[in-house]
Structure 1
Amino acid sequence: MLDQQKEIFREEAAELLSDLEDSLLELEESPEDMDLVAKVFRSMHTIKGSGAMFGFDDIAAFTHEVETVYDLVRNGEVPVTKELVSKSLAARDHISSLLSGEDIDEARGEELVTAFQQMVPGQQPAAPVETAPEDLGYGLFDDAPVEPPAPVAEAPSANADATYRISLKLDRHIINTGTRPDGLLRELAELGPHQMVAHTGDIPSLDQLAPEECYLHWDIILTTDQGLNAIKDVFIFVEDDIELKIDVIDDGEDPDADVDYMRIGEILLARGDITQQELDEILGQNKPIGQKLIDSNVVPQEKIESALKEQEMVRAARTQRKAQETATSVRVPAERLDYLVDMVGELVTVQARLSQAAGMREDSELVAIAEEVERLTAELRDNSLSMRMLPIGTTFSKFKRLVRDLSNELGKDIELKTSGAETELDKTVIEKLNDPMVHLIRNSLDHGIEAPDVRAAAGKQATGTVLLTAAHSGDSVEITIQDDGKGLDRDAIFEKGVEKGLISADAKLSDTEIYNLIFAPGFSTAKVVSNVSGRGVGMDVVKRSIDSLRGSISIDSQQGVGSTISIRIPLTLAIVESLLVSVDNESYALPLSIVEECVELTRQDIANAHGRHLVNVRDQIVPYIPLRQEFEAISEPPDVEQVVITNLNGNRVGFVVDQVVGQHQSVIKTLGRMCKDVKGLSGATILGDGTVALILDVNHLAKKVEQEAA
């Protein structure tokens, strides 16, 4: 059980460290943002408290030193500097290594501890932290602290939507200290659904009212999953100037709790606003209790209103909790999701066989059943695939740190901007996309963005910009990396291509074709080899990685203005929409996302081309690849063949087939070890009749034909 809890801690701590890195990078840009400071402090406090709870004492002791400094930052005693952020990012990396147990640099850890201790004004290096029970206040498993000698109320566990009754009375002269009451209330409101009632009974008459004094006090009913400490943190800077009472009136942990809450009289009695004797006397009158209390002047109207708000909030919270009782989130290992998608893929194949079999029989009942199974299978497929979808922002956020560290190393001032971080992509695709993206961004920073003095001489801003965007495009995602650097040197790339024997000196190539030469193995125009790039290793790997994802990559550049690299990736690698075709009585599938149209190819069209593989499509010449020739078919072709026109890296290329069968939902299967070296095929799928259709790797086929022609 303890091992399981430790594993849960590792998973949640890893998420916290990811959020911490994002917060620190934002804090570097906005050092005066105290909300970010508080967020960093809470992350550190959570990791420290939970680490100590589950035996990660080294993490707790190290994190304590960082937390101490950020506590002083919260109090205004230590400023946020670039050095502090840099040390904090290094501390975040050290905590990550302690968490994984790999690549632990103990000397680096001691160096960081000393550095943080020296940031504490007038303090000697502290002894190792002894984590007391109250330090667990921000823990992953218990948000609320255990305060000596006893808590106000038993604190609910983390992630529970608990409801709190908060009584807040500010010192009358608090505004003179620079504190704005509305700011405190606004920060409190951000924690969750709430109701606030202001008590106005202490406001004097107009001739005695001092505009700089605060006469109001408030009752707040707040439902939040942030825990008791998050509420106390709102008032951490003014705790000596306020009267604060916080009671847990619904811990959010009892799914069987009655939706009905205490009556108005019971609430007032529990608050101490009325005595039992006064309540009994009022209940004897034949009026609604709220009206009775107001009429008798036993309780001010604001207190009645506050009790009604409390009753309303607790009832609403309990009702919502009952409705969501069966809809709580569950952590599921990725392997189980992968297995589920595999099984759904098998189900899609069986469903296709059922539909085909039903269509061959004149049985209306069987057809109806097949149609219902098809509908349910489609819904199950969409839902199972959506479970593996993650926002691509999870990858984008990692690149902010990469750009920060690399720009410092290169002595450049570079800003990373992102757009479309909410765009969702299959988890497997995101994981495989990480390394190619790192290569591309590193190249943009090293080769693309100029040094500040060079940019200034060219009339540009000293700060370079890399724009990272993502957007859905049909069943694919379009990702672009755009920089405002010097752009690609067309002539230098052409000369290097001639030198390496990739092209002839008299070749007439478009800009796109020349730029695509940089994807050749070992190709580099860098005159100096640096730690970042210049060895000619990387861009060919990028191309192969994108191709393995059944994606495409293209480059557009303007010298002196900048470059744009566009990547198009399918949403998922498991099930794709494809176009089914036949060649020599064999079935093949092409990804539907790249297909533009299908046209006929007659014997006369072939004769008019005089032996060249070209077809005229609405006055536009399109080259084509005869698949019969590529696959060495021995049978006679039909009199009228079909040309499937595709878009490959911005170029239109046709593939000649015997017949276009139609759209097909392909469950992708690997070809196995015996066929892993077969070029031009990316997988296989099973058709409704049980036969196998091979999925064509159209990018590789086009590249192979192009090389043979050259």
Structure 2
Amino acid sequence: MNTLDPVQVFRAEAAECLEQIEEGLLDLTHDLENRALVDAVFRGLHTLKGSGAMFGFNALAAFTHHCETAFDRVRKGEVPATAELVAAVLSAQDHMRSLIDNPDADDGVTGARLLDQLRAAVGGEAPAAASVAAASAPEPEPQTQSSAQTAPRNRWRIRFRLPDTSMANGTNPLGLLDELRDLGECTVRANLSALPSWADYDPKLLYMSWEVDLVTEHDRSAVDDVFIFVMDDMELTVEDLEDATAAAVTEPAVSVQDVTVVAAQPPVPPIQPSLPVASAPAVRPVEAVPVKKDAAPAAANHGKPAESVRVPAERLDELMDRVGELVIAQSRLSQLASSSADMGLRSVSEEIERLSGELRDTMMVLRMVPVGTLFSRFRRLVHDLARETGKVIELVCEGESTEVDKTVIERLADPLVHLVRNSIDHGLEPPEERKAAGKADAGTVILSARQSGGEVIISISDDGRGINRERVRAKAESSGLIAPGQPLSDQELLQLIFAPGFSTAAQITNLSGRGVGMDVVKKTVEALRGTIEIESANGKGSVVSLRIPLTLAIIDGLLVRVGNGRYVIPLSAVEECLELSLEEDLRSRGRSFLSLRESLVPFLRLRDLFRTSTKPDPYQKIVVVSTGSERVGLVVDQIIGDHQTVIKSMSKLHQDVPTFSGATILGDGSVALILDVGHLVAAGQQQEAHMRAAV
């Protein structure tokens, strides 16, 4: 039986908590007066600190405590929320991630530097002189009994009851009582009036409630903070005991263990739950929920929350492999049943085909991830680049609910980083230049996603200066990428920016200049069987569109035959199929062009490309495929039909063969190669360019 490592579970949940904190911080940069966002960030930091201490990440807990304290001062109105504070906590958040990955990695220098930035951000702009003095003053020594008596005191009577299932869900009421005792002198009384008889007693349920008299120097908000994570599910009242007598106030505090029974049922054996006392519950998503200030009990939530299960990605990949093998076996079964006269076998084959199809579709949905999980990473990147470059940048995300295979999402992260950085560095102008051009001070970068058939189109657009085509051509000619004066279409010229080592930057900076990033983009997109399209207008901006398959595991394909071999063409790239007679084939030799609705489409004879030694069929077929605006025809001997294609990677010996992107196993056990449409279209366009140049 597999058991989950608690530390790994904490790391996964802490990563989610950090994402929630980062999202709250980035939202706060646009609305520094939003109290709900301040409270949400504070709760996230408090949760991370407590959970880190509970799991032994003491360095993380100690460092996070300072950030939590800073936001606590903002919550209490001692200092305002500023852009400098948000930037300091964002930088500190990166250090928190390193402490989670490696608790012993802290050299002391990085943490000290970040804390200096945090102190400067909090202590530098207090709303009043008293607040500044409080921020710069050293932490007070623990008060003696005599000095504590002279300080202002608040007296609270707190009654609280947790849900019956609290103990089973991991909430320890003793931890809450300990936090109250840390605030001041406590008198704790346990209410056992709801305790059932021994015969009806369920050890998994919590029957007790508590009444606490608290004498403290803290205000009501400190009491609310104790119950901040359980307030929505519990019954809580807090009363101000102004009329309490001085004698009652100065009574010695009673420890948690010395409780007074208010009302009791017949005696039962004491039950000591063996739950660890933790400073905070396990990490959970941060929500901007206002703290209840009234004394009314919280209403019970009878709606059933949505449930989710955390599953390692490796298990999903393994399950996907099993589903792929099932699809192959089902294809073989269907082929055997079609050649058999046994109606029972055919009936079972059809039922298996239906069930395997439903299982395949369900599995595909499980692997799908909203592209918004990818887009959200760039809010921090744009924030940091804006501070680094001095530009005013607005990031707009569209189509975030579009779903893509998780493997595609993971492999697209780095290419999009390069594209966004390139758009900000080369595309967007500084505020002064934008004003001179009649534009708004803030430049806009738009990340959008939409589904088109079996593809998803992810676009990165900006309203900057656009691509300078003269500079691109001059750089390409000086680098030897093209011959001087070589005729190129506009799309071919723009595609030169993806050539290895190509860069139009005047000098190397932290953002660009080495000519590496865009080359990585092209290689990654091509490895995903995708294509790149560029549009640019001088002074108006540029749009880079990535056309990526929705999934890399199972695709719909068109099975064709060339000679004795069978090949699969991704169905998402197929536009139409035409017939090519022997006479037309002979007439077209030497020019290889097809007139299709008043436009010439080049076509490739796969027989020649694959060097097939057999004679062509009398009536060959042309499959017109496209990648964006570019089209090419593929001449095949026979179109067999559509085929559910389980993609298998090529062996290491065949990875450098550009014509094929993978292989699949057919129903009869033979292997069919999957054609790389992008490479074939590029080959067709090159053939067209050579023929036009020869004319």
Structure 2 equivalent of residue 647 of structure 1: 626
Shift in CA distance, 704/12, structure 1 to aligned 2, threshold 3 Å: same
> Contact 1:114 / 1:125 at 8 angstroms: preserved in 2?
no
| Residues 86-139 of structure 1 deviation map (CA, whole Å, 9 limit, x = unaligned) | 00101111110100018645312122234434526414455999xxxxxxx9xx
Shift of 1:33: 0.9
Q: Which letter maps to 1:95?
A: M
Equivalent residue in structure 2 for 1:107, among 99, 105, 109: 109
Shift in CA distance, 597/125, structure 1 to aligned 2, threshold 3 Å: farther
Structure 2 equivalent of residue 68 of structure 1: 69
Structure 1 equivalent of residue 57 of structure 2: 56
Counterpart of 2:461 in 1: which secondary structure? strand
Shift of 1:519: 1.6
Shift of 1:10: 0.8
2:493 aligned with 1:514: yes
State how far apart, in whole Å, the 1-side matches of 2:677 and 2:387 are: 41
Equivalent residue in structure 2 for 1:670, among 620, 627, 649: 649
Deviates more, 1:83-92 or 1:617-626: 617-626
Equivalent residue in structure 1 for 2:503, among 503, 506, 524: 524
2:658 aligned with 1:656: no
Q: Provide the TM-score with structure 1 as the length reference.
A: 0.74
State how far apart, in whole Å, the 1-side matches of 2:364 and 2:443 are: 38
Shift in CA distance, 469/164, structure 1 to aligned 2, threshold 3 Å: farther
Structure 2 equivalent of residue 283 of structure 1: none
Counterpart of 2:314 in 1: which secondary structure? helix
Shift of 1:381: 1.1
> Contact 2:40 / 2:288 at 8 angstroms: preserved in 1?
no
| Residues 638-669 of structure 1 deviation map (CA, whole Å, 9 limit, x = unaligned) | 22211111112321111111111111110011
| Residues 221-279 of structure 1 deviation map (CA, whole Å, 9 limit, x = unaligned) | xxxx999999997447x5xxx54556xxxxxxxxxxxxxxxxxxxxxxxxxxxxxxxxx
Shift in CA distance, 35/128, structure 1 to aligned 2, threshold 3 Å: farther
Structure 2 equivalent of residue 489 of structure 1: 468
Shift of 1:499: 3.5
State how far apart, in whole Å, the 2-side matches of 1:419 and 1:376 are: 36
The within-5 A match list for 1:9-88 is 9-88=10-89
> Contact 1:605 / 1:615 at 8 angstroms: preserved in 2?
no
Structure 2 equivalent of residue 554 of structure 1: 533
The within-5 A match list for 1:251-330 is 316=302, 320=304, 328-330=307-309
Equivalent residue in structure 1 for 2:310, among 327, 331, 337: 331
5+ residue gaps, structure 2, are 124-130, 143-165, 182-187, 193-203, 210-223, 236-280, 691-695
2:536 aligned with 1:534: no
Shift in CA distance, 243/519, structure 1 to aligned 2, threshold 3 Å: closer
Shift of 1:497: 3.1
The within-5 A match list for 1:20-419 is 20-101=21-102, 104=106, 106-117=108-119, 119=122, 121=131, 122-123=134-135, 124=137, 126=139, 142=171, 146-148=176-178, 234-235=290-291, 238=293, 242-243=294-295, 316=302, 320=304, 328-419=307-398
Q: Which letter maps to 2:118?
A: F
The within-5 A match list for 1:422-437 is 422-437=401-416
> Contact 2:602 / 2:684 at 8 angstroms: preserved in 1?
no
> Contact 1:477 / 1:569 at 8 angstroms: preserved in 2?
yes
State how far apart, in whole Å, the 1-side matches of 2:141 and 2:402 are: 44
State how far apart, in whole Å, the 1-side matches of 2:407 and 2:565 are: 31
Structure 1 equivalent of residue 272 of structure 2: none
Shift of 1:489: 1.3
State how far apart, in whole Å, the 2-side matches of 1:229 and 1:11 are: 12
2:424 aligned with 1:445: yes
Counterpart of 2:535 in 1: which secondary structure? strand
Q: Which letter maps to 1:106?
A: G
State how far apart, in whole Å, the 2-side matches of 1:632 and 1:105 are: 63
| Residues 667-699 of structure 1 deviation map (CA, whole Å, 9 limit, x = unaligned) | 011121222222211110011111110011121
State how far apart, in whole Å, the 2-side matches of 1:467 and 1:229 are: 27
Shift in CA distance, 143/50, structure 1 to aligned 2, threshold 3 Å: farther
> Contact 2:391 / 2:429 at 8 angstroms: preserved in 1?
yes
Shift of 1:491: 2.4
Deviates more, 1:462-471 or 1:114-123: 114-123
Greater relative contact order structure (CA < 8 Å, 6+ sep): 2
Counterpart of 1:147 in 2: which secondary structure? helix
| Residues 325-348 of structure 1 deviation map (CA, whole Å, 9 limit, x = unaligned) | xxx422211111110000100000
Deviates more, 1:494-503 or 1:595-604: 494-503
> Contact 1:143 / 1:227 at 8 angstroms: preserved in 2?
no
Shift in CA distance, 13/233, structure 1 to aligned 2, threshold 3 Å: same
Q: Which letter maps to 2:553?
A: A
5+ residue gaps, structure 1, are 130-136, 155-159, 166-183, 196-224, 247-309
> Contact 1:25 / 1:401 at 8 angstroms: preserved in 2?
yes
| Residues 452-506 of structure 1 deviation map (CA, whole Å, 9 limit, x = unaligned) | 1111111111110000011122222111101000111122223333334444444
Shift in CA distance, 530/153, structure 1 to aligned 2, threshold 3 Å: farther
State how far apart, in whole Å, the 1-side matches of 2:480 and 2:207 are: 73
Q: Which letter maps to 1:373?
A: I
Q: Alpha carbon RMSD of aligned pairs, Å?
A: 3.7
State how far apart, in whole Å, the 1-side matches of 2:97 and 2:507 are: 34
The within-5 A match list for 1:497-512 is 497-512=476-491
Structure 1 equivalent of residue 614 of structure 2: 635
> Contact 2:17 / 2:284 at 8 angstroms: preserved in 1?
no
Shift of 1:600: 1.3
Equivalent residue in structure 1 for 2:592, among 613, 617, 627: 613
Q: Which letter maps to 2:341?
A: E
State how far apart, in whole Å, the 2-side matches of 1:231 and 1:406 are: 28
The within-5 A match list for 1:449-464 is 449-464=428-443
Counterpart of 1:11 in 2: which secondary structure? helix
Shift in CA distance, 12/629, structure 1 to aligned 2, threshold 3 Å: same
Structure 1 equivalent of residue 551 of structure 2: 572
> Contact 1:50 / 1:141 at 8 angstroms: preserved in 2?
no
Counterpart of 2:625 in 1: which secondary structure? strand
State how far apart, in whole Å, the 1-side matches of 2:343 and 2:534 are: 54
State how far apart, in whole Å, the 1-side matches of 2:326 and 2:686 are: 41
| Residues 23-68 of structure 1 deviation map (CA, whole Å, 9 limit, x = unaligned) | 1011011111111111101100100111111111111111111111
* Identity rate, percent: 46
State how far apart, in whole Å, the 2-side matches of 1:463 and 1:71 are: 32
> Contact 2:603 / 2:684 at 8 angstroms: preserved in 1?
no
Q: Which letter maps to 1:147?
A: L
Structure 1 equivalent of residue 246 of structure 2: none
Q: Provide the TM-score with structure 2 as the length reference.
A: 0.75
State how far apart, in whole Å, the 1-side matches of 2:288 and 2:329 are: 58
Number of residue equivalences: 571
Counterpart of 1:29 in 2: which secondary structure? coil
Counterpart of 2:177 in 1: which secondary structure? coil
Shift in CA distance, 623/57, structure 1 to aligned 2, threshold 3 Å: same
Counterpart of 1:65 in 2: which secondary structure? helix
Counterpart of 1:565 in 2: which secondary structure? strand
Q: Which letter maps to 1:23?
A: G
Structure 2 equivalent of residue 300 of structure 1: none
Deviates more, 1:514-523 or 1:441-450: 514-523
